Structure 1
Amino acid sequence: MTLRRLCGIFLLQSLCQSFFTPCDGGNILVLPLEGSHWINMEVMLEGLHGRGHNLTVMRASTSWYIKERPDLYTSITVEVNEDIEVVFSSLISEHVRLQREGGSTISFLKLTMYFLSIQSRAHSLFADGLSRTIEDKNMVKRLIDSKFDLVLTDPAIGSGLLLAKYLKLPVVLNVRWITTGEGHFAIAPSPLSYIPALGSGLTDKMTLFQRIKNFFFLCLAMFPGKFISEPIYEAVCEKYIEGGCDVTSLLQEADIWLFRSDFVFDFPRPTMPNVVYIGGFQCKPANPLQQELEEFVQSAGEHGVIIMTLGTFVDSLPKEVAEEIASVFAKMPQKVIWRHKGERPSTLGNNTLIVDWMPQKDLLGHPQTKVFVAHGGTNGIQEAIYYGVPVLGIPLFFDQFDNLVRLQARGAGKILQLADINGHNFEVALKEVLLQDSYRENMQRLSRLHRDQPITPMDKAIFWVEYVMRHKGAAHLRTEAYKMSWFSYYSVDVVLFLLTVVTVLLLSVMVLLRSLCCRNRRKLKDKQN
């Protein structure tokens, strides 16, 4: 073995040892969210479990995604009054139906009001579960006796933050969105001149009128948090937390933000020392497909495969949309794998395989996959970037439109609005993404940038969780800005003080000059007399 090789091995070993400082198995309380949020949280838990940490997951009694996993974590089940799956499924179905109406102002208002009702009902459901937990003395005793090192939670709901405050534990956030919208707006300086607000559809390059639009959309984005979600959690704070609290302050008090994004995908912006970017942490090399699915994929030959899924919350599209999409797929030379649980479209072609579930990551990592038709969820977008597959996006709700705007701005994807879809424009858009080499080239460039990191996002996430356990928090990385009033934060008091001083000085000078003038006049008058 050469000296150069020995030096290389020694250097690599030293780097690994310095990065992964030994940490005794910790005790972590986890408060996750359902659906796709749970999928990436479970991946993180598998990584932490592999490092020897003890995990306890709080789940609702009606949870449909968060299952009992004694091999991975201990479960604490909280009784809730409503079936979470039924609540979300019915709300999302109605939201999709209203979005399909599209176009008119009345439809937009209906869609907005229904979206607000989704938020209100969901936050009320989780706040009620938190109240039940705190009022259960046996449950509280069990949580205290467990001597947890920290709380790991998804702040898209506020219950994890409130429970951590109640138990006086450090907090690590597995975060992309918070109760009031985009996470950065709660913790980092966010100039609206180049940072697009949620739902604006803008990039970091804006004209004057786009900046005006951006300001308007930020006001709209702040409304649900200030008037819907925050009052729900503030009621819990006032009842159970000594001295009260609010969700925004609890977010700003969090020790570490594990942010499910990076600046390959997102637009560059100011950030904070305790924000750690782990975009794509759930991605890893694809596994081989099952034999039957592999045979179907290989049968596509040189044309390749198109895959389509709309995520965990949406099983099917409105019937007329599904029929249009199926008819377009039937014309394509590619094979198609489509996750669709609704009524089987009558226009379905022999080249299309309908499935209830698909191994999304393994299909995206297959060399035969040419295009990903998706709703634009964070997980799917990050996986598409990792594997270098261009996206035809059909955003439905939440952050999906904003995610797809970022891909489209980089030339790696194209957006079709659900309200506008018909056979013709879906076919044109699909062929554009398939046949124009620029889409795949741009996405593969993003993939190379994303993969070119000194350490994987998963290893980075585990390191910072263990860092908080080792040091009993990370208060030294938190800004003190959240303790300041708004007028102090924006130096309004400083400006007012300086204006007052300048005003007093000017008035003093004016009074002095006036006095001197009056004195001179009197002297002149006395001489004349």
Structure 2
Amino acid sequence: MGSISGLSLLLLVVCLTSPSVLGGKILVFPIDGSHWINMDLLIQGLHAGGHEVTVVRTATSWYIKENAPHYRSITVTLPEAMNMEEQDFFANLLTNILTIQREGGSFISTAKWYWEMLGALSEIHQQAGQLVTEIFENKTLMQNMRDTQFDVVLIDPGVPVGVLVAHELKLPTVFNVRWITSGEGHAVVAPSPTSYVPVAGHVVSDKMTFGQRVQNTIQYVFNMFIDRFIVCPHYDRLVDRYFGPDVNFYHLLQGADIWLIRVDFVFEFPRPTMPNIAYIGGFQCKPSKPLSSELEEFVESSGEHGFILMSLGTLVKSLPVEITSEIAAAFAQIPQKVIWRHAGERPNNLGNNTLLLNWLPQNDLLGHPKIKAFVAHGGTNGIYESIYHGVPIVGMPLLFDQAENVLRLEIQGVAKVVDVTKLTRQNFLEAVQEVLHNPSYRNNMKGLSALHRDKPMHPLDTALYWIEFVMRHKGAAHLRTESYKMPWYAYHSVDVTCCLLAVLLMLIIIVVRLMRFLCFRLCRRRKPKQE
């Protein structure tokens, strides 16, 4: 009886001192498309940990389903579908951009490219503002959110709708982030010297020449211009309307308690960081599972040559047929089998060695022992899965950050990059053959894989720990600097510098006048003696 009581007491002590959070309530604001894939993994992990998860979605959401076993949803109906939720939006955007880029690097074509991108960006955030309005104007919905008594809001701040809702509900926030309104997430929360930290949109390494540093600074100013005058006005109007002039939208954005940044420095260039940043790059990576019998049979038929995987991610289902036909013609000339995720018009010149699929188990194929290379667009999900499994890449960047991503891989000798606007069957074939036959690509990627896997805790466990940390402690204010509330001249110590320069100038003036005075007195004393 005594031993049972002792065991009960021990279990009670363990339960009381355990760092876990039992039955927490989490409100989630995700972004559709590929961003949802990794957010959904976090939600599954939180659900498995006993938490109740509520996901805010729109009625026209592309990937985010209304009913799921691991979360409940709040569905908001908008007057029209958001661009990001239209499956043809990114395909049309890519087609237009490729057309513009093929016209050459003239000022007119560059201006067209930026006009296309900035117009799409502004419209996405304008539609996101409508979502905020629909939520705030629905008094019943807002009251239900308050009555639920959520513990934390988990947000993908690429479209920062949830930041405003979290402020209204007075809840701590955790960001699941790589990109934010002004570019890469670090630019908002951590010091980002333009001397060695490449700015989003500038495809260079961290070892910049003088000219590249000039371009980096100009790109930084341009990004700030876009953020302040293209993106933020949509949210500033909402903040003024619902919170008044004393609340600053950018301060709300910078005031998140924890930033779960989807970066691993095996891939990213070294840079300054902050104590409220946790790195979870590659948290979606996991060991591969057996393939279906049909796929396994196709893969095994490759024999000693192995196979190549090609996928352009979730946003862009296919390239224009004139490009895919060149790719197909190149694939037809190699002995390897090819598994190609392709949903568009069937390309010409397709060889018997190539299998087209609408969907494929990417992680399981990348983990198969017969895989030789991965032809990819450079999205971070695919990149980290390739690093995890040690598979070299033929990079074909299409949109957004993809050119910067594949550059980082190329610098480390694990990828060969092809410009899709100049792609021919010959240069594509040469790139594929170089990755296949030059062992340095695979060896270098195996080295990255070993570094990426060598961690004290899996990145997914790191993410779940910090979300629960914020729930346990009702925030993480002790890790968050308040420097973002300082005026720019104080943050950069312009006022201190001016003060010190003024004091120095005064000292110089005093010393100069004193010396002139002494010289004058000395001259007056010497004059009578000379007479």
- Fold shared per TM-score above 0.5: yes
Deviation at residue 217 of structure 1 after TM alignment: 2.4
Residue 129 of structure 1 aligns to which amino acid in structure 2?
L
Q: Structure 2 matches for 1:286-365, cutoff 5 A?
A: 286-365=288-367
Matched, 1:24 2:22: yes
Gaps (5+ residues) in structure 1? 1-15
Out of 136, 161, 165, the residue aligned to residue 167 of structure 2 is 165
Distance 1:158 1:229 in 2: 10
Contact 1:99/1:111 (CA < 8 Å) preserved in 2?
no
Distance 1:20 1:259, change over 3 A: farther
Residue 42 of structure 1 aligns to which amino acid in structure 2?
D
Q: Which residue number corresponds to residue 467 of structure 2? A: 465
Deviation at residue 509 of structure 1 after TM alignment: 3.0
Residue 31 of structure 2 aligns to which amino acid in structure 1?
L
Out of 274, 278, 293, the residue aligned to residue 276 of structure 1 is 278
Out of 410, 413, 422, the residue aligned to residue 411 of structure 1 is 413
Q: Which residue number corresponds to residue 90 of structure 1? A: 89
Out of 175, 200, 203, the residue aligned to residue 202 of structure 2 is 200
Distance 1:97 1:431 in 2: 30
Deviation at residue 518 of structure 1 after TM alignment: 5.0
Distance 1:247 1:386, change over 3 A: farther
Distance 1:96 1:190 in 2: 33
- Between 1:118-127 and 1:41-50, the stretch displaced more is 118-127
* Residues 271-294 of structure 1: CA deviation (Å, up to 9, x unaligned): 000100001101111111111111
Q: Which residue number corresponds to residue 8 of structure 1? A: none
Contact 2:321/2:346 (CA < 8 Å) preserved in 1?
no
Contact 2:59/2:78 (CA < 8 Å) preserved in 1?
yes
Q: CA RMSD in A?
A: 2.1
Q: Which residue number corresponds to residue 181 of structure 1? A: 183
- Between 1:246-255 and 1:151-160, the stretch displaced more is 246-255
Counterpart of 1:148 in 2: which secondary structure? Answer: coil
Q: Which residue number corresponds to residue 9 of structure 1? A: none
Q: Structure 2 matches for 1:3-402, cutoff 5 A?
A: 21-84=19-82, 87=86, 89-100=88-99, 101-102=101-102, 103-105=104-106, 106-402=108-404
Distance 1:405 1:493 in 2: 39
Deviation at residue 90 of structure 1 after TM alignment: 2.9
Distance 1:413 1:251 in 2: 35
Residue 372 of structure 2 aligns to which amino acid in structure 1?
K
TM-score of the pair, normalised by structure 1: 0.93
Residue 78 of structure 2 aligns to which amino acid in structure 1?
V
Contact 1:233/1:246 (CA < 8 Å) preserved in 2?
no
Distance 2:269 2:293 in 1: 40
* Residues 70-114 of structure 1: CA deviation (Å, up to 9, x unaligned): 411110011112223664623542333322443232322212211
Contact 2:62/2:87 (CA < 8 Å) preserved in 1?
no
Contact 1:412/1:440 (CA < 8 Å) preserved in 2?
yes
* Residues 358-408 of structure 1: CA deviation (Å, up to 9, x unaligned): 111111111111111111111111111111111111111111111111111
Distance 2:132 2:401 in 1: 25
Deviation at residue 52 of structure 1 after TM alignment: 0.4
Gaps (5+ residues) in structure 2? 1-13
Counterpart of 1:407 in 2: which secondary structure? Answer: helix
- Between 1:78-87 and 1:175-184, the stretch displaced more is 78-87
Counterpart of 1:473 in 2: which secondary structure? Answer: coil
Counterpart of 1:342 in 2: which secondary structure? Answer: coil
- Between 1:242-251 and 1:227-236, the stretch displaced more is 242-251
Distance 1:128 1:88, change over 3 A: farther
Residue 506 of structure 1 aligns to which amino acid in structure 2?
I
- Between 1:382-391 and 1:88-97, the stretch displaced more is 88-97
TM-score of the pair, normalised by structure 2: 0.92
Counterpart of 1:353 in 2: which secondary structure? Answer: strand
Distance 2:344 2:435 in 1: 26
Deviation at residue 17 of structure 1 after TM alignment: 11
Deviation at residue 512 of structure 1 after TM alignment: 3.5
Q: Which residue number corresponds to residue 476 of structure 1? A: 478
Residue 98 of structure 2 aligns to which amino acid in structure 1?
Q
- Between 1:157-166 and 1:94-103, the stretch displaced more is 94-103
Aligned residue-pair number: 514
Contact 2:330/2:428 (CA < 8 Å) preserved in 1?
yes
* Residues 471-493 of structure 1: CA deviation (Å, up to 9, x unaligned): 00000001121121111111111
Contact 1:27/1:149 (CA < 8 Å) preserved in 2?
yes
Distance 1:348 1:314 in 2: 20
Residue 59 of structure 2 aligns to which amino acid in structure 1?
S
Contact 1:234/1:245 (CA < 8 Å) preserved in 2?
no
Distance 1:243 1:481, change over 3 A: same
Distance 1:350 1:131, change over 3 A: same
* Residues 141-166 of structure 1: CA deviation (Å, up to 9, x unaligned): 01111101111000111211111112
Deviation at residue 417 of structure 1 after TM alignment: 1.6
Contact 2:331/2:354 (CA < 8 Å) preserved in 1?
yes
Deviation at residue 191 of structure 1 after TM alignment: 1.6
Distance 1:41 1:90 in 2: 21
Deviation at residue 494 of structure 1 after TM alignment: 1.1
Contact 2:199/2:220 (CA < 8 Å) preserved in 1?
yes
Q: Percent identity?
A: 51
